[in-house]
Chain A
């Protein structure tokens, strides 16, 4: 791996790490992998607002399913 490549990757990694710190401080409840996914999506051109809405909707759905499952039991 060339040193330039390494720098690039390290810079990306560093930024990702710091973003994760911010996400924790903002209590976004994103784990590191999810954040990485999100970052990847935004980098792919996804609108952050839409993504945020989707994530929150998915969370709500997941919570509802969880509740439904517990109700069934």
Chain B
């Protein structure tokens, strides 16, 4: 009896040994037999009695469940066998349970056992299995650690038992096992992303493991529970085991690599179920998404439009136009046009996107670059077609875009070239062809490129925005859009007008200017950045800015505000470098160099329109020529454009002011005078954009811009100017020096110069006799000491500092003062002015002053000579002389009248009136430059009035010949009457003199020997034919030598001739002055007075 046999097995043996011993007693066929032989009723009765204990009652349902699950037997389908099996299970298990007080398996044992499994797997080359096992083993230990609740469904203490059960039931790995291990490892390595909504809460909500009752879970019969199972296990095993330590031991001892952490997915069960086989529905979804996306990829070869291309032409359906026409054309084979079947059609909104890409300079389907001229764009020959456009109309529309794209690409290339040049540190090699070439790299071009680039960015942004809106609308977001190529063209035009065409035109024009050629329409404008040119950078800068501004003006006058605004933006940014230079110039003043250390001095930028001539500060020409507005040098200037200024137009009007301001500021800085008083010293030089931004209304047109800039410069100008003027007038004693200079050169202090002249002429007369001469009248020491003596004698030292004056003679010693007044031309008067005043009284100015002085002295000389002739009745008692004396008297009267009229004219109408005007103007001068200008104008007027200007040289020569006539007349008279002159200088300074016939004879001989040959009568006759235009007038023929040698014999004739020549001269001067009186020069009124005075000659 099997039951008996089973019962005979002692509890002690069961608990001691493995249960295999039990089953060794009951082999399977035996059980089978037992089951078969046992009567139903008996078997049924027996287990009931056996399951009388409490534990049995609790185990019974589990046993029944186990049997069903393992064997498939149920109470319903095979009650007898089921009960036999139940009896068998119950009894064996009950026994084992009842006796379970002995040693249970612990965690350390299980560790070892699993370690064995792992090793075994590895030996069998099932590494994946080993790895999976290791991971899952560690994982179960980890998860078991959470089983702290002693009331839990699974208790930590029972884990070794569970594992032992599995170990006992384990079999050799089958193929499916290995596959499972692979899938498991794979799932760990690539854990599927858990759906975000899936939480433990959801899982538990789906599978409600409520309380300790796993009711309805794992196919437990409805209503059955595992109620009270935790109580059963209470005390059966210690709730605390050396679990943790053991697990650590395992980890420590375990030399196996552990590369992957256990997946922390909240739902391992689900993953296990899903990694086995691919999720077909998911992959189908993915595929569908891919298909959908591909269906939108119109650029793919296999993409086909959804429009039916084979439909015949229908007037009401635009999409039939293109295919129909191309079909019709395709029939004619010579045209080589593919029919609609072979052409690709895309939708217009896609075409618009493509065009937008093209405009942003990207690769696209519709427009490509011309293979021969890569910078030129054209509609791509292989461009997909649009169904509602014919080939020609599509090409035409695309061509206009292509043109825009070419323009933009040109500009893009230019900006990128400039930028790359900026970033490249190496300087481009100098052209060896000519050293005069300049590099066109300039700040302004860079700024221009930057400004253009910002316009391009704006354009790109606009295109991208457009594209985005199309995409959004396509995806059903945002507003509905109507998209078309023509619409895009209009939008571009509305948004940007012809801005880019104009920018390119500006670049082209600049390129032409730099290359100095007119034919640059096809030039590659981006080369501009690295060209070498003969055009100086400042001219390039000015030209660029001018072209920009001109474009702005043109566009705003055309009413094209969009382009005008864009261009003014470009202009303002391009002009910023020059503006900043102006700011530095005006704020800091000119860079002043020390004469001796020229090497490390800062110089002005080559782009700046002010040029540094590198003169030292102490040079009197420094102010006028040290810094000037830059002009083209002679060999640089293009033909027909000589001396073109390199000033940008918007600064042209105030360029002079800027120049003056900078110079004044620099000079003040050199003088150590702070430019601006406290309030203005922190005046910030704003950028041009800021300035224009602040005065938007004023700067809307170039005119306003110029005014704005003028206002900006004004404070610097007035402040520096007034300070400098103050320095000049107060520190440099300007007015005193002017008075002295006028007194000296213009003889406004008549007494001093009058006396000096007397002394001088007396000396000159005396020295005509060489034997008496101790000192020549030209002698340097005589001149200076005489002058000093005169000044001292007249107590005029406070007016004229004699130490500042130096007289010298530079003329030819061969000219004799007794014969010609031209000998006085060589007399040089120098006046030393202080440092700053030297900028006003430059050597040129002094040379003019000197020439005026000499001229006045010459007149005085003639007057002096005439005054010394005393024609008196009692001189010659002889009656025969009376007639001659009358002639002499008349002649002297004529000469005196002319000389006096002339002198009166010069002193009163020219000098006195002009000086009054000058002083009036000079007081109002606000800056050094203004002073210089007023003074120069003044001097110019005087020079013209004194007939010393090159234009009046004919008149001047005529007057000089009249003066020489006086000398000549004097000589004739002396030789006629002996020494019978009256020296007027004797009135002022007593000088001893001797006159005798011998002396007279000697003098005459001297004259005779040195006289040049007689000038022919032909020339004299020409005098009558004097042209009215004074400038062309031939030199009056009179010369002192004309008849000197021959007057001895026929004195009356000679005097007659002298008289007629004087007549000619006077008339000539009168005609000339009349002509000048009608001119526009400032000296015209004075000439009018002269002409009026000379009218009396004939009356």
Contact A25/B180 with A45-B97, A49-B18 known, Cβ cut-off 8 Å? yes
* Residue among A13, A38, A40, A48 with most chain B CB within 10 A: A48
Bound complex: CA of A32 vs CA of B181, how far in Å?
Answer: 17
Determine the chain A residues whose CB is within 8 A of the CB of B85 once the complex forms. 58, 61
Determine the chain A residues whose CB is within 8 A of the CB of B181 once the complex forms. 25
| Residues from 1 to 36 in A contacting B, C-beta threshold 8 Å | 1, 5-34, 36
Task: Produce 1/0 per residue, A48-73, CB < 8 A to B.
Answer: 11111111111111101100100000
Bound complex: CA of A50 vs CA of B269, how far in Å?
Answer: 28
> Is the beta-carbon distance between A54 and B92 smaller than 8 angstroms?
yes
Q: Does B173 make an interface contact (CB < 8 A)?
A: yes
> Is the beta-carbon distance between B169 and A22 smaller than 8 angstroms?
no
* Residue among B14, B20, B209 with most chain A CB within 10 A: B209
> Is the beta-carbon distance between B70 and A58 smaller than 8 angstroms?
yes
> Is the beta-carbon distance between B184 and A25 smaller than 8 angstroms?
yes
Bound complex: CA of A39 vs CA of B67, how far in Å?
Answer: 14
- Interface size class of chain A, counting residues whose CB lies under 8 Å from the partner chain: 35 or more
Bound complex: CA of A54 vs CA of B751, how far in Å?
Answer: 157
Bound complex: CA of A18 vs CA of B232, how far in Å?
Answer: 24
Determine the chain A residues whose CB is within 8 A of the CB of B149 once the complex forms. 8, 11
> Is the beta-carbon distance between A46 and B23 smaller than 8 angstroms?
no
Q: Which A residue's beta carbon lies closest to that of B200? A: A10
Contact A41/B66 with A46-B96, A65-B81 known, Cβ cut-off 8 Å? yes
Bound complex: CA of A17 vs CA of B207, how far in Å?
Answer: 14
Determine the chain A residues whose CB is within 8 A of the CB of B226 once the complex forms. 40, 43-44
> Is the beta-carbon distance between A26 and B166 smaller than 8 angstroms?
yes
Bound complex: CA of A56 vs CA of B166, how far in Å?
Answer: 12
Q: Which B residue's beta carbon lies closest to that of A63? A: B28
Least Cβ–Cβ distance between B718 and chain A, in angstroms: 85
Q: Does B233 make an interface contact (CB < 8 A)?
A: yes
Contact A39/B162 with A52-B168, A62-B70, A62-B72 known, Cβ cut-off 8 Å? yes
> Is the beta-carbon distance between B155 and A49 smaller than 8 angstroms?
no
> Is the beta-carbon distance between A48 and B105 smaller than 8 angstroms?
yes
* Residue among B62, B67, B151, B169 with most chain A CB within 10 A: B169
> Is the beta-carbon distance between A28 and B204 smaller than 8 angstroms?
no
Determine the chain B residues whose CB is within 8 A of the CB of A56 once the complex forms. 23, 169
Q: Which B residue's beta carbon lies closest to that of A53? A: B19
> Is the beta-carbon distance between B32 and A64 smaller than 8 angstroms?
yes
Contact A48/B165 with A14-B268, A25-B181, A41-B59 known, Cβ cut-off 8 Å? yes
Determine the chain B residues whose CB is within 8 A of the CB of A48 once the complex forms. 105, 161-162, 164-165, 168
Least Cβ–Cβ distance between B80 and chain A, in angstroms: 12
Partner of A41 from B62, B168, B169 at Cβ < 8 Å? B62
Determine the chain A residues whose CB is within 8 A of the CB of B137 once the complex forms. 22
Q: Does B252 make an interface contact (CB < 8 A)?
A: no
* Residue among A1, A38, A50, A59 with most chain B CB within 10 A: A50
> Is the beta-carbon distance between B100 and A28 smaller than 8 angstroms?
no
| Residues from 130 to 184 in B contacting A, C-beta threshold 8 Å | 132-133, 136-137, 139-140, 143-144, 146-147, 149, 151-155, 158-159, 161-174, 177, 180-181, 184
Least Cβ–Cβ distance between A33 and chain B, in angstroms: 5
* Residue among B67, B96, B158, B230 with most chain A CB within 10 A: B96
| Residues from 94 to 125 in B contacting A, C-beta threshold 8 Å | 95-97, 99-100, 105, 117
> Is the beta-carbon distance between A38 and B165 smaller than 8 angstroms?
yes
Bound complex: CA of A14 vs CA of B200, how far in Å?
Answer: 11
> Is the beta-carbon distance between A9 and B209 smaller than 8 angstroms?
yes
> Is the beta-carbon distance between A6 and B169 smaller than 8 angstroms?
no
> Is the beta-carbon distance between A22 and B164 smaller than 8 angstroms?
no
Q: Does B210 make an interface contact (CB < 8 A)?
A: yes
Bound complex: CA of A54 vs CA of B217, how far in Å?
Answer: 24
Least Cβ–Cβ distance between A6 and chain B, in angstroms: 6
Q: Does B22 make an interface contact (CB < 8 A)?
A: yes
> Is the beta-carbon distance between A11 and B155 smaller than 8 angstroms?
no
> Is the beta-carbon distance between B169 and A23 smaller than 8 angstroms?
yes
> Is the beta-carbon distance between A15 and B143 smaller than 8 angstroms?
yes
Partner of B66 from A8, A38, A60 at Cβ < 8 Å? A38
Least Cβ–Cβ distance between A68 and chain B, in angstroms: 8
Q: Which residues of B contact A (CB under 8 A)?
A: 14, 18-20, 22-23, 26, 28-29, 31-32, 35, 55, 58-59, 62-63, 65-67, 69-73, 81, 85, 88-89, 92-93, 95-97, 99-100, 105, 117, 129, 132-133, 136-137, 139-140, 143-144, 146-147, 149, 151-155, 158-159, 161-174, 177, 180-181, 184, 200-201, 204, 209-211, 214, 217-219, 226, 229-230, 232-233, 236, 268-269, 272
* Residue among A10, A53, A55 with most chain B CB within 10 A: A53
Contact A6/B204 with A25-B133, A43-B230, A47-B97 known, Cβ cut-off 8 Å? yes
Partner of B23 from A8, A10, A43, A57 at Cβ < 8 Å? A57
Least Cβ–Cβ distance between A22 and chain B, in angstroms: 5
Partner of B165 from A14, A42, A60 at Cβ < 8 Å? A42
> Is the beta-carbon distance between B232 and A45 smaller than 8 angstroms?
yes
Bound complex: CA of A8 vs CA of B154, how far in Å?
Answer: 9
Determine the chain A residues whose CB is within 8 A of the CB of B28 once the complex forms. 57, 60-61, 64
> Is the beta-carbon distance between B93 and A26 smaller than 8 angstroms?
no
Bound complex: CA of A63 vs CA of B177, how far in Å?
Answer: 21
Determine the chain A residues whose CB is within 8 A of the CB of B66 once the complex forms. 34, 37-38, 41, 54-55, 58
Determine the chain A residues whose CB is within 8 A of the CB of B71 once the complex forms. 58-59, 61-62, 65
Bound complex: CA of A8 vs CA of B139, how far in Å?
Answer: 17
Determine the chain A residues whose CB is within 8 A of the CB of B230 once the complex forms. 43
> Is the beta-carbon distance between A27 and B210 smaller than 8 angstroms?
no
Least Cβ–Cβ distance between B303 and chain A, in angstroms: 49
> Is the beta-carbon distance between A16 and B154 smaller than 8 angstroms?
yes
Partner of B166 from A1, A16, A19 at Cβ < 8 Å? A19
Partner of A27 from B18, B69, B151, B173 at Cβ < 8 Å? B173
Q: Which B residue's beta carbon lies closest to that of A52? A: B168
Least Cβ–Cβ distance between B653 and chain A, in angstroms: 86
Determine the chain B residues whose CB is within 8 A of the CB of A37 once the complex forms. 62, 65-66, 69, 218
Q: A17-B272, A62-B70 are in contact. List 5 more A-B contacts (CB 8 A).
A: A7-B146, A50-B19, A50-B96, A54-B89, A65-B81
Bound complex: CA of A64 vs CA of B81, how far in Å?
Answer: 13
* Residue among A1, A30, A57 with most chain B CB within 10 A: A57
> Is the beta-carbon distance between B172 and A17 smaller than 8 angstroms?
no
> Is the beta-carbon distance between B165 and A27 smaller than 8 angstroms?
no
> Is the beta-carbon distance between A50 and B93 smaller than 8 angstroms?
yes
> Is the beta-carbon distance between B153 and A44 smaller than 8 angstroms?
no
Determine the chain A residues whose CB is within 8 A of the CB of B164 once the complex forms. 48-49, 52
> Is the beta-carbon distance between A11 and B152 smaller than 8 angstroms?
yes
Least Cβ–Cβ distance between B71 and chain A, in angstroms: 4
Partner of B147 from A15, A26, A51, A59 at Cβ < 8 Å? A15
Among all A-B residue pairs, the 10 with the closest Cβ atoms: A50-B96, A52-B168, A26-B170, A47-B96, A62-B71, A18-B140, A11-B146, A28-B169, A53-B19, A48-B165
> Is the beta-carbon distance between A58 and B67 smaller than 8 angstroms?
yes
Bound complex: CA of A33 vs CA of B140, how far in Å?
Answer: 18
Contact A26/B143 with A17-B268, A47-B97, A58-B89 known, Cβ cut-off 8 Å? no
Bound complex: CA of A48 vs CA of B93, how far in Å?
Answer: 9
Least Cβ–Cβ distance between A12 and chain B, in angstroms: 4
Partner of A45 from B129, B214, B236, B272 at Cβ < 8 Å? B236
> Is the beta-carbon distance between B146 and A14 smaller than 8 angstroms?
yes
